[in-house]
């Protein structure tokens, strides 16, 4: 047993932290938050240059082949920012979907570009009947000669506005088994009939994507048509803990912010952290933080060592999503007025905690999957 | 990162040795009764006998230095002993011995060489059982306000006062206790620790009638007492860590008691609950198929997993001698609050079945009913839920520029 990072992992963590401190100070993040995509071309190029858009991509496809743990280490630091933008959607989730579902040629075609930051992917999976199980994909792709025609609405698609390409999941076959008949289409966002609209509200980068008579060749299907589910499921299981690590980093930052404020904010003649009611909120935050941290890293360890990991992944996602959400609530109680001032920065985390709560399945979804995994 | 204890062929050979030893030395009938209050005197003696046999090999306190009667073993081998005992539902030591598990590290850190040579071998070899005595009628959460008084008289101290919510079934050999040695001294600078033979004249005790007797971790006590000291003469040699230096010694003690020791054991109550709900039918289907009950079971499972990971982390921190701050009381806090949540979930899932231990109507064999009482009582031993939060806040530095340090542990 060794719960420590190795020396090289500590160096990676430190490099990621330094990058965030130098290149993404609070003001930069606040400015990025006001953009549609959540990222600037300069920072995107830097992420690519650092190799961080290729962390989850094997070396033979132009990536770093970093492994899940190293990827998570970087994502924890990005979450501390929190740095928004399509890096997770494209370079982790999107790349893993291509890796798990695509043919060898498709991997060689797409993944090096994703790692270089030239191609940006977004997974168009969820629909108005929102959900992350296979049964929630109802959009059908119609065969027309050697092409497919895509018609339908994908809703709450993360980072579609920043994407160059969409990974659209649709049904190419029917049947009683919801896991059968699913296909992933790689669609250029500039194809006629594709329209993307960023949704307004208390969310970052969530979009409505409409496919109206979009004609794509059969070669746009990743792998063999109708067989996408096992690959999608594997990609989800690997991507989820990386997203959890991002939430761990965000929760850690919220924790530090709250401790710091408790030491400096004076009311009734003393730092507010002297009041036990204030302390209770911060203790809740550190409990959310550590619960998320250790469930997440145990899930990663299980995945990396080839152990049965499904229950652990569902556990981690439920715990990390609820944890960040509630940690932000507690932090707002600690901060009161100043916490809701946008320029203070807490709201960046709060917005992320809501935007990412449902991404790849909300806590209820994962708790039900956990019940299945426990054979209840 | 590696969340699993890994074993070399040599360590696996050691496991075989331990397993064979336990098979040969654990007689039938030694297992923990469902309700710890039912531990018979014969069972207790059998456990003490097992403790002595483990102690002869240095396996009772495996990581303690050999020169004082410990095993001098690395963490991995200590873990193997614990894992093998766990197969029998036992832990180290296999009987209630809080004054040993908490007192021995204090003596190791704070005792003189002569004291270590005198007090440690009997504890570490299992020749004595030791209770810790902290709480008094007027000093619960505020331990530093203890009033039991020790007054120097030549090369002895004369002790007067009372301790309560202490001890276990079937008596003790020694008592490890904190007392006041300077009633006019400043707070935190007027306390001292003593190791007191239980058979000294002037010591008496009466049992408490409790909902159940809560433990601080490890083997359950089964009962609690009030202990009275009436002009008890204790050799000055038995004062550990220096007169009026007791609060510093307490930092070691309390760090361990507040969950800092960590654990590799898994709380089995949720496993039992899940098993119960999978195998018990109501209204024609297993309870676990009821959607509401499924939700409750998953919440309990999540609580149990978080607790397991906190304990595992603390075990690792302790045995790799890494710096710690709030982690000990965090694990303790989680155990206490999640215990209450799990007990409530059991009532919600099972209704009144949760509260009976009648063999005709309780397929859990009494475990769930005992757990329900224990979860309520468990909120106070080793510090209340509120006290765990107070310690965490100080260690984290909430509202303070300077963090409070965690106690030194071994």
- CB-closest option in A274, A283, A374 to B301: A374
Closest partner CB to A3 (pick from B278, B316, B399): B316
What's the confidence (pLDDT) of residue B29?
Answer: 83
Residue found under tokens 């603390």: B314
Q: How many residues does chain B have?
A: 410
Whole-number pLDDT of residue A104: 98
Are the C-beta atoms of residues B282 and B352 closer than 8 Å to each other? no
| Placement of tokens 């000055």 in the chain | B236
Identify which of A161, A303, A163 has the alpha carbon closest to the alpha carbon of residue A242.
Answer: A303
Which segment of A38-47, A231-240, B4-13, B215-224 scores lowest on mean pLDDT? Answer: B215-224
Of residues A43 and B266, more confidently modeled: A43
Contact across the interface for B1 and A376, Cβ inside 8 Å: no
A282 touches B: beta carbon within 8 Å:
yes
CA distance linking residue A202 with residue A342, whole number of Å: 13
Cβ-based neighbours of A69, under 8 Å, separated by 6 or more: A9, A297, A300, A301, A304, B1
Q: What is the mean pLDDT of residues B200-207?
A: 98
List CB contacts of B4: < 8 A, sequence separation 6 or more.
Answer: A1
Q: Searching chain B, which residue's CA lies closest to the CA of residue A287?
A: B330
CATH superfamily of A230-373: Butyryl-CoA Dehydrogenase, subunit A, domain 3 (1.20.140.10)
CB pairs under 8 A between A and B: 128
Largest pairwise CA distance in chain B: 76
- Class at the top of the CATH hierarchy for domain A122-227: mainly beta
- Closest to B298 (Cβ–Cβ): which among A5, A263, A367? A367
Q: Edge-to-edge strands of the sheet including A165-171?
A: A121-124, A165-171, A182-188
Of B295, B305, B397, the CB nearest to A295: B305
Of A273, A371, A376, the CB nearest to B400: A273
Distance CA(A189)–CA(A222), nearest Å, equals 16
In this prediction, residue A1 carries a pLDDT of 86
Contact between chains at B399 and A280 (C-beta distance less than 8 A):
no
**pLDDT given at position B259:** 64
Contact list in B for residue A287 (CB cut-off 8 A) is 330, 333-334
Enter the tokens of residue B244. Answer: 């009026």
Q: Mutate one of B399, B400, B401, B404 to test the A interface: name it (highest A CB count within 10 A).
A: B399
Whether B309 sits inside 8 A of A276 (CB atoms) is: no
- Local structure of residue A159 (DSSP, 8 states): T
Residues of chain B neighbouring A295 (CB-CB closer than 8 A): 305-306, 309
Helix and strand tally (H, E) in chain A? 12, 9
Query: Is the pLDDT score of B266 beyond 70?
Result: yes
Q: What local confidence, expressed as pLDDT, does residue B217 receive?
A: 62
**Interface residue A60 vs chain B (CB under 8 A):** no
Q: Which of A270, A282, A287 sits opposite B398 (nearest CB)?
A: A282
Query: How confident is the model over A291-313, as a mean pLDDT?
Result: 97
Count other C-beta atoms under 10 Å from residue A45's C-beta.
Answer: 13
Give chain B's domains with CATH numbers. 9-95 (1.10.540.10), 130-245 (2.40.110.10), 261-396 (1.20.140.10)
**What average pLDDT does the segment B344-360 reach?**
96
- The values of phi and psi at residue B401, to 5°, are -75, -30
Q: Where in chain A is the domain with CATH 1.20.140.10?
A: 230-373
ipTM: 0.95
Task: Say yes or no to pLDDT of B410 above 70.
Answer: no
**Measured between CA atoms, how close is A273 to chain B, in angstroms?**
3
Instruction: Tokens for A336, please give them.
Output: 């009161």
**pLDDT attached to residue B257:** 66
Q: Which of residues 116-135 of A touch B (CB under 8 A)?
A: none
Q: Which has the closest alpha carbon to A72: A263, A292, A335?
A: A292
Distance in angstroms (rounded) separating the CA atoms of residues B289 and A272: 47
Q: Is A223 helix (H, G, I), strand (E, B) or coil?
A: coil
Which of these ranges, A238-252, A313-327, B20-34, has the smallest mean pLDDT?
A: B20-34
Query: Is the pLDDT reported for residue A294 higher than 70?
Result: yes
Each residue's pLDDT tens digit, B127-168: 999 999 999 999 999 999 999 999 999 999 999 999 999 999
pLDDT top residue among B33 and A288: A288
Asked whether the beta carbons of B31 and B97 are under 8 A apart, the reply is no
| Residue B38: pLDDT over 80 | yes
CA atoms of B250 and B261, how far apart (whole Å): 15
State what percent of residues in chain A have pLDDT above 90: 99
- pTM confidence score: 0.93
> Where does CATH 2.40.110.10 sit in chain A?
122-227
Question: Could you tell me the sign of the dihedral formed by the alpha carbons of A243, A246, A248, A254, in that order?
Answer: negative
**Alpha carbon distance, N-terminus to C-terminus of chain B:** 24
Chain B residue nearest residue A6, CA to CA: B1
What's the mean pLDDT in A276-287?
98
Q: Is A109 on the interface with B (CB under 8 A)?
A: no
Residue contact A376–B274, C-beta within 8 A = yes
Class of domain A7-119: mainly alpha
Question: Is residue A318 within 8 Å of residue A367, measured between CB atoms?
Answer: yes
Facing residue for B309 by CB, picked from A270, A279, A298: A298
CB spacing of B389 vs A280 below 8 angstroms: yes
Strand-pairing partners, residue A121, are A165
Chain B CB within 8 Å of residue A318 CB: yes
Res A204: pLDDT: 93
Residues on chain B touching A265 (C-beta within 8 angstroms):
none
Residue B253 in this model has a pLDDT that exceeds 80: no
Residue closest to B48 by CA, chosen among B167, B222, B170: B170
Quick one: three-class SS letters along chain B? Answer: CECCCCCCHHHHHHHHHHHHHHHHHCCCCCCCCCCHHHCCHHHHHHHHHHHHHHHHCCCCCCCCCHHHCCCCCCHHHHHHHHHHHHCCCCCCCCCCCHHHHHHHHHHHHHCCHHHHHHHHHHHHCCCCCEEEECCECCECCCHHHCCCEEEEECCEEEEEEEEEEECCCCCCCEEEEEEECCCCCCCCCCEEEEEEECCCCCEEEEECCCCCCCCCCCCCCCCCEEEEEEEEEEEHHHEECCCCCHHHHHHHHHHHHHHHCCCCCCCCHHHHHHHHHHHCEECCEEHHHCHHHHHHHHHHHHHHHHHHHHHHHHHHHHHCCCCCCCHHHHHHHHHHHHHHHHHHHHHHHHHHHHHCCCCCCCCCCCHHHHHHHHHHHCCCCCCCHHHHHHHHHHHHCCCCCCCCCCCCCC
Instruction: Looking at the complex, report in whole angstroms how far the Cα of residue A81 sits from the nearest Cα belonging to chain B.
Output: 22
**Chain A residues with CB-CB distance to B320 below 8 A:** 2, 4
Report the distance separating Cα B339 and Cα B375, nearest Å.
5
């Amino acid at each position: 047993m060794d719960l420590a990072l190795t020396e090289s992992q500590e160096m990676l963590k430190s490099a990621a932290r330094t990058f965030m401190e130098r290149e993404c100070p609070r003001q930069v993040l606040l400015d990025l938050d006001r953009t549609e995509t959540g990222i600037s071309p300069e920072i995107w190029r830097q992420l690519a240059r650092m190799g961080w858009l290729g962390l989850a991509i094997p070396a033979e496809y132009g990536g770093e082949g970093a492994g899940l743990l190293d990827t998570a280490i970087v994502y924890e630091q990005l979450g501390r920012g929190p740095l928004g933008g399509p890096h997770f959607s494209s370079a982790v989730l999107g790349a893993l979907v291509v890796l798990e579902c695509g043919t060898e040629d498709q991997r060689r075609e797409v993944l090096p570009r994703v790692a270089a930051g030239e191609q940006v992917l977004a997974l168009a999976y969820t629909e108005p009947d929102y959900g992350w199980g296979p049964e929630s994909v109802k959009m059908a792709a119609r065969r027309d000669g050697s092409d497919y025609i895509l018609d339908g609405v994908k809703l709450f698609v993360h980072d579609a506005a920043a994407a160059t390409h969409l990974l659209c999941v649709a049904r190419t076959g029917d049947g009683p088994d919801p896991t059968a008949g699913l296909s992933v289409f790689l669609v250029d966002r500039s194809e006629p009939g594709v329209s993307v609209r960023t949704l307004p509200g208390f969310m970052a980068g969530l979009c409505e994507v409409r496919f109206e008579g979009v004609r794509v060749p059969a070669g746009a299907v990743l792998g063999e048509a109708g067989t996408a589910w096992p690959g999608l499921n594997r990609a989800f299981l690997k991507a989820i803990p990386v997203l959890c690590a991002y939430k761990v980093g965000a929760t850690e930052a919220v924790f530090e912010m709250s401790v710091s404020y408790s030491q400096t904010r004076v009311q009734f003649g003393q730092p507010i952290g002297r009041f036990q009611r204030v302390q209770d909120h911060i203790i809740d935050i550190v409990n959310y933080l550590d619960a998320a941290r250790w469930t997440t890293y145990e899930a990663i360890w299980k995945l990396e060592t080839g152990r049965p990991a499904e229950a652990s992944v569902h556990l981690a996602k439920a715990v990390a999503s609820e944890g960040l959400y509630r940690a932000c609530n507690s932090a707002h109680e600690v901060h009161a007025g100043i916490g809701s001032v946008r320029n203070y920065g807490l709201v960046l985390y709060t917005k992320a905690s809501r935007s990412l709560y449902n991404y790849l399945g909300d806590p209820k979804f994962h708790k039900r999957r956990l019940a299945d995994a426990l054979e209840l | 990162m590696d969340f699993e204890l890994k074993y070399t062929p040599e360590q696996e050979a050691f496991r075989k040795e331990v397993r064979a030893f336990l098979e040969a030395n654990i007689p039938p009938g030694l297992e923990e009764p469902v309700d710890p209050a039912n531990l018979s005197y014969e069972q207790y003696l059998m456990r003490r006998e097992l403790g002595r046999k483990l102690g002869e090999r240095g396996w009772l306190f495996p990581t303690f230095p050999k020169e004082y009667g410990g095993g001098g073993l690395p963490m991995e081998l200590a873990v193997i002993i614990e894992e093998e005992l766990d197969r029998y539902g036992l832990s180290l030591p296999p009987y209630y011995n809080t004054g040993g598990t908490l007192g021995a590290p204090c003596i190791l850190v704070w005792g003189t060489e002569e004291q270590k040579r005198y007090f440690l071998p009997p504890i570490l070899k299992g020749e004595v059982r030791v209770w810790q005595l902290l709480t008094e009628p007027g000093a619960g959460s505020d331990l530093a306000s203890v009033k039991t008084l020790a007054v120097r008289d030549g090369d002895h101290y004369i002790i007067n006062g009372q301790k309560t919510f202490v001890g276990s079934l079937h008596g003790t050999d020694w008592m490890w206790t904190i007392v006041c040695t300077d009633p006019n001294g400043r707070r935190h600078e007027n306390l001292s620790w003593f190791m007191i033979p239980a058979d000294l004249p002037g010591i008496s005790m009466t049992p408490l009638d409790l909902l159940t007797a809560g433990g601080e971790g490890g083997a359950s006590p089964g009962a609690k007492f009030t202990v009275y000291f009436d002009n008890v003469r204790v050799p000055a040699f038995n004062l550990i860590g220096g007169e009026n230096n007791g609060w510093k010694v307490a930092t070691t003690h309390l760090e361990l008691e507040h969950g800092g020791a960590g654990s590799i054991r898994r709380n089995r109550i949720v496993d039992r609950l899940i098993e119960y709900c999978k195998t018990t039918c109501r209204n024609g289907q297993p309870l676990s198929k009821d959607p509401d009950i499924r939700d409750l079971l998953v919440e309990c499972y999540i609580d149990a997993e978080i607790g397991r990971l906190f304990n595992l982390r603390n075990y690792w921190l302790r045995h790799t001698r890494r710096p710690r701050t709030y982690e000990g009381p965090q694990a303790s806090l989680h155990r206490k609050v999640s215990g209450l949540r799990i007990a409530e979930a059991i009532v919600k899932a099972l209704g009144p079945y949760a509260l009976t231990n009648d063999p005709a109507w309780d397929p859990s064999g009494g475990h769930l009913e005992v757990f329900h009482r224990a979860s309520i009582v468990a909120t106070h031993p080793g510090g209340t839920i509120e006290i765990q939060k107070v310690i965490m806040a100080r260690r984290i530095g909430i509202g303070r520029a300077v963090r409070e340090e965690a106690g030194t542990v071994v």
